Amino acid sequence: MLLTGKNYSMKLSTRSRYGLRLMFELALGYGTGAVQLQDIAKNQNISEKYLGKLMIQLKKAKLVDSIRGAHGGYILQREPSKITMLDIVKVMEGDLSIVDCTSDGADCCRAHDCPSKSVWCGLSNVIKNYLEGIKLSDLVDKYNKSTELSQQMYFI
């Protein structure tokens, strides 16, 4: 996460945003065979080269697997209902602690009397719990419902 701009807004990196879009495409194709990286790049308007770099991280984290051959590409290693947003963002970002002192194993000389540590720990937990509560399948379901609604025609 980065603190940027005059307003000091906290933002996730492009890796997380694009990684999620990549995983969403794989979830859309789940159970129908491998999805090719060039199709994901085209559908999401993201560089295929950049997606390839993200794919390396996702494969290393055992979220994605590759299939070789004429009908090759990439597949999810688990059902979309078993992959959370937290799983994806942690692979892309690393530790999600809002400040360093809330990280696991953080060593802070002020930890015993810091008045704000509980605030930062609480905020970090809210973010983690929120992301953990959203499954990849939830995004697919929401997308499918929205496309169904937009395709319905009403006659009067």
Domain ranges of the chain: 2-151
Confidence of residue 117 (pLDDT cuts 50, 70, 90): confident
pTM, full prediction:
0.82
- Over 90: is that where the pLDDT of 48 sits? yes
Is CATH 1.10.10.10 what the domain over 2-151 is classified as, yes or no?
yes
Rounded Cα distance between 148 and 44, Å, is: 20
Higher pLDDT, 107 or 140: 140
Q: Which one, of 62, 71, 63, lies nearest residue 33 by Cα?
A: 71
pLDDT at res. 82:
98
Q: Which one, of 45, 44, 43, 55, lies nearest residue 15 by Cα?
A: 55
**Per-residue burial over 111-125, b = 16 or more CB atoms within 10 Å of its CB, e = otherwise:** eeeeeebeebeeebe
Higher pLDDT, 110 or 135: 135
> 37, exposed or middle or buried, with CB in 10 Å at 0-12, 13-18, 19+?
buried
Whole-Å CA distances, 48 to 37, 109, 123, 151: 6, 45, 35, 30
Local structure of residue 105 (DSSP, 8 states)? T
pLDDT at res. 6:
55
% of the chain surpassing 90 pLDDT: 59
pLDDT at res. 156:
56
